[in-house]
Amino acid sequence: MTHTHNSGRTIHVHRNQWHLAWDNSIAPIGTIQSGEIVEFDLLDSAGGQIGPESTVEAIKQLDFSRVDQVNGPIYVEGAEPGDTLEVEIVDLQPADWGWTAIIPGFGLLADEFAEPALKIWKIEGGADGWAEFAPGIRIPMAPFCGEIGLAPGAPGALSTIPPYRHGGNMDTKHLTKGAHLYLPIEAPGALYSMGDGHAAQGDGEVCGTAIEAPMHATVRLTVRKDLQLPQPQFLTSGPLTPRTNTAPYYATDGIGPDLVEATRSAVRHMIDHLQRTYQLSREDAYMLCSVAVDLKLCEVVDMPNWLVGAFLPLSIFSKNS
């Protein structure tokens, strides 16, 4: 589904050119032709409130009015409602540090984790490197941006917290370098923005945070007049999770008549497994699930019960155990 494009020019979006809503009344900070490249310097999802020397006190003092900012918007010439914007992920380079947190009131098991926690990561080797969770546990980097989207067609401001038909906080870990994302255009010019850099994440981001990191992102934006879509679609750059799919997986199932509760059960069982097998604290196990464990919808037809699997890549452990 890729498309030919113009070589064009490159424009740069600075880290202070951000906003906190999807809204077609926000003035664009730049205009490009279809097929041109845009580079973004992005703060982390906390908007710079957390740094490499931060402690858990930063989570306690977090100003949520600054969380999940996006940079832009970029006006794309020729983009009209009903068209599709093809977003080619040209490059993603994380900073040399990141963070993962348990934020009270947020996450799949928020009712079971009332106290805040913060993990600061040192990222070795950039986009192709890794970060150590604990001795013997290393997470390979697979950077992407959680927030990629366009302005809605209807007037008014939409929160940057959830995903929408036109994109938003999709937190799709497979939108790595080389992927192509296709977004339905609702507003003239598309009004493209992005943010929320993640150095690595498990499918589900279950505790509510990934390895959150400042990011330098490069994308090519192309208007597709030949393509009309009801909701986002994407083409991956190759096989899924190539950096972790090098050893067996250990999976825990969650089964029940409610999809959310089945998912919670699968994650809860994985936390128990990580505590029992690797002597992790419950909080560390929850955060490790968020950055490395992939949720999969294994069965949707055998009513009345759903089956959700939580898949742990054993490649992250030094002994693959």
Tell me the C-alpha distance between 70 and 199, whole Å: 17
Q: State whether 116 and 195 are in the same domain.
A: yes
Contact between 85 and 101 under an 8 Å Cβ cutoff? The reply is no
In tens, the pLDDT along 161-179 reads 999 999 999 999 999 999 9
> Helix, strand, coil % (nearest 5) of the chain?
15, 35, 50
Decide if 274 contacts 285 (C-beta within 8 A).
yes
List pLDDT tens digits, range 212-238.
999 999 999 999 999 999 999 999 999
Query: Mutual orientation of helices 282-292 and 259-278 as an angle, nearest 10°?
Result: 120
User: For residue 200, is it within any domain?
Assistant: yes
Same domain, 145 and 220: yes
Residues 125 and 272 in one domain: no
Backbone angles phi, psi at 59, to 5 degrees: -70, -40
Do residue 269 and residue 202 come from a single domain? no
- On whether both 19 and 55 belong to a single domain, the answer is yes
Task: Indicate whether 309 belongs to any domain.
Answer: yes
Question: Is residue 4 one of the residues assigned to a domain?
Answer: no
Q: Report whether the peptide linkage leading into residue 304 is cis, meaning its omega lies within 30 degrees of zero.
A: yes
pTM beyond 0.75: yes
What is the helix (H) or strand (E) element at residue 87, kind and residue range? strand 84-94
| Average pLDDT, rounded, for the chain | 97
Backbone angles phi, psi at 13, to 5 degrees: -105, 125
| Judgement on whether residues 149 and 183 belong to the same structural domain of the protein | yes
Phi and psi angles of residue 90, each rounded to the nearest 5 degrees, phi first: -80, -40
Q: What is the DSSP letter of 117?
A: E
Tell me, yes or no, whether 243 lies in a domain: no
d(CA 299, CA 241): 21
Range of the domain at 297: 249-316
Task: Say what the pLDDT of residue 171 is.
Answer: 99
The verdict on residue 304 lying in a domain is yes
Task: Mark whether 20 and 114 lie in a shared domain.
Answer: yes
Residues 225, 288, single domain; the answer is no
- What is the CATH classification number for the domain harbouring 270? 3.10.28.20
The count of domains in the chain is 2
Considering the domain boundaries, does residue 3 fall inside one?
no
8 Å CB contact between 25 and 155: yes
Looking at 184, 205, 235, which one is the last position of a domain? 235
